[in-house]
Structure 1
Amino acid sequence: MDHKSLLASLSGEERNSLTVLSDWPGLFKLVQHVVFMAVLVWAILAGVPGWPVLMLPLGIQYVFLFTLLHETVHRTPFRNVWLNRLAGRICSVVLILPADWFRYFHLAHHRFTQEPGKDPELAEPKPETVRQYIVHISGLAVWRGHLTTLFRNAVQANRDSFVPARGKAKVMREAQAMVVLYAILLAGSLWTGSTMAFWTWILPLLVGQPFLRLYLLAEHGRCAFVANMFENTRTTFTNRLVRWLAWNMPYHAEHHAYPAVPYHKLPAFHARTREHLQVTEDGYARFSANYVKSLES
């Protein structure tokens, strides 16, 4: 059974139960993330023994805000539209990834998942050699892409095919506002001689990015170029910590099959779809090991 057949088999009651939105699960989860990050920032600034090591868990928390940004694209982590927009904007600033531009990018990815020439994620080919894999995992190409996109959108009308004409002005205003904000932060740091932003934001982002790259590669890496979401997307079975960190997005085939399902309902939807999934993996370590084995030297 493909994903369309499965969705057609759901009753109206099942659909309503799976797609009901709520503010409280997302707010409770977001508070957990914020408290955890705040404690790490405080420990780094206080210079507790071994504080440099804490930049790694802080950075991992930061980069996995991408999964929350991703969910706000679908307007599903919170019932309140304002909360979705606010959470998306905050994640956008932390990750240096414009939220409006990313929304157009990601919705096109959902519309044309694994369709060469149409899925914007395929514009950057998956690594096929050891060298390409190392560069990919380092995150250097990602940061170059983020910064290029930000500054390009700030100075000229967007030319990406997935951004509609009505959205080009919005994308430009967003990029310009972000550039101004970062310029103010940089000027303030230079004026005061403060290195706080570097130690509690920039460097943690850099050291955390490889973990997000490894995670994201499992979503569609080595999956088929077909329309069935149970074949072109991978669900990765993992532990509760990773599912918590990634807002349940390891249930990725389920998410692609039915994007309207909020993150906290994905485990229930997984129970309904598990027997139909065609691409799964038992953990990210195993996926990575298998991927590395398939690379050309």
Structure 2
Amino acid sequence: MDHKAFIASLSPDALARLNRTEDAAGIWHLAVHFGLIGGLGAWIALGGPLWWAFLVPQGIAICFLFTLEHEATHKTPFRSAWLNEWVGRICGLLIVQPFEWFRYFHLAHHRHTNIPGKDPELLAGAKPDGWRAYLWHVSGLPFWRAMIGQTLRNAAGADPGDYVPERARSRVRKEARVMLAFYAVALASPAVSAVLFWVWILPALLGQPFLRLYLLAEHGRCAFVADMFQNTRTTYTNRIVRFLAWNMPYHTEHHALPQVPYHRLPELHRMMRGHHGVTSEGYLAFNRDYTRDFGSRRW
């Protein structure tokens, strides 16, 4: 059974229940996630005991806002459309990933998941195959270079990508210019920029490798086919990771039915048991398996 046959097997009532959005679950989740970032940031800024030990957790909490921005492109974390839009934009601002542009990039990824020559995630850079490429990828530096460059190109009015429709290009350009203006103002004052360096910039640099390791499991070493049960991986992990990632470790579930809100993915996972084609018993296990044959390859 492929993912389309599975979806066809679900009753209209089950689909309606799975697709139902709400504000309460998302607002509570958002409050805890942003509260964590605010609390860790305050501890670091005030120089609390062992403040330096909180730089990496702060960075992980910030960088995993990617998963919330990603969900907001699907308009599923909240029932309120304006809340999805503004939360997505704020997340994009904090991780230097323009929300308006990413909306269309990600839509193309769903339309052509793991199909070479069509999936923009593959066009942006193939999955690393060898230690040198793997370590470079996991460092997060290619991400920062790509997103800063994309934001600058968007602001200059350059082609944002074939997947961005003409009607949206002015919005993409305006968004990038607003982002650049915000960064300029935020970093203009030495006193303010010093605080931002310790509570935002440095933690984000330190946290990005953890997001790269997480994201690599979503489609890395999956088949280049159209079946979501084969081209996408669900990774079993603990509640903390699922919370920070807004349940996106249930990634096969998300790709099979992207309109299902993040908080209903555990239910969909239970319904989907026995149909998963690709799973992993945790992110350490995935990356261990992913790199297993690197030792026999040249750097």
Alignment TM class, shorter chain as reference = over 0.9
Q: For residues 128-184 of structure 1, what are the alpha-carbon distances to aligned partners after superposition, in whole Å with 9 as ceiling and x for unaligned? A: 010000000000000000000000110123241111111111111111111111111
Matches within 5 A, 1:247-262: 247-262=246-261
Q: Which residue of 2 aligns with 1:204?
A: 203
Q: For residues 17-67 of structure 1, what are the alpha-carbon distances to aligned partners after superposition, in whole Å with 9 as ceiling and x for unaligned? A: 100000000001111112111111111111112111111100000000000
Q: Which amino acid aligns with 1:204?
A: P
Q: For residues 73-120 of structure 1, what are the alpha-carbon distances to aligned partners after superposition, in whole Å with 9 as ceiling and x for unaligned? A: 000000000110111011011001100000000000000001111100
Which whole-Å CA distance do the structure 1 matches of 2:114 and 2:47 have between them? 46
State which drifts further: 35-44 or 99-108.
35-44
Q: Which amino acid aligns with 2:167?
A: R
- Name the count of aligned residue pairs: 295
Which whole-Å CA distance do the structure 2 matches of 1:71 and 1:193 have between them? 31
2:171 is the alignment partner of 1:170 = yes
Matches within 5 A, 1:198-237: 198-237=197-236
Q: Which residue of 1 aligns with 2:158?
A: 157
State which drifts further: 27-36 or 259-268.
27-36
Which whole-Å CA distance do the structure 2 matches of 1:73 and 1:231 have between them? 24
Q: Which runs of 5+ in 2 are unaligned?
A: none
Q: Which amino acid aligns with 1:177?
A: V
Q: TM-score, normalised by structure 2?
A: 0.97
CA distance 1:159–1:87, shift in 2 (3 Å): closer
Q: Which residue of 1 aligns with 2:127?
A: 126
Q: Which residue of 2 aligns with 1:279?
A: 278
Q: For residues 188-237 of structure 1, what are the alpha-carbon distances to aligned partners after superposition, in whole Å with 9 as ceiling and x for unaligned? A: x23x4750000000000000000000000000000000000000000001
Q: Which residue of 2 aligns with 1:136?
A: 137
Structure 1 residue runs of 4+, over 4 Å off? Answer: none
Q: TM-score, normalised by structure 1?
A: 0.97
Contact 1:229–1:253 (8 Å) recurs in 2: yes
Structure 1 position 294, deviation (Å): 2.9
CA distance 1:115–1:207, shift in 2 (3 Å): same
Matches within 5 A, 1:26-175: 26-123=26-123, 124-175=125-176
Q: Which residue of 2 aligns with 1:245?
A: 244
Task: Note the aligned Cα RMSD (angstroms).
Answer: 1.0
Contact 1:158–1:171 (8 Å) recurs in 2: no
Q: Which residue of 1 aligns with 2:10?
A: 10
State which drifts further: 95-104 or 286-295.
286-295
Contact 1:249–1:263 (8 Å) recurs in 2: yes
For residue 235 of structure 2, give the secondary structure of its aligned residue in structure 1: strand
For residue 76 of structure 2, give the secondary structure of its aligned residue in structure 1: coil
Contact 1:64–1:246 (8 Å) recurs in 2: yes
Which whole-Å CA distance do the structure 2 matches of 1:250 and 1:274 have between them? 15
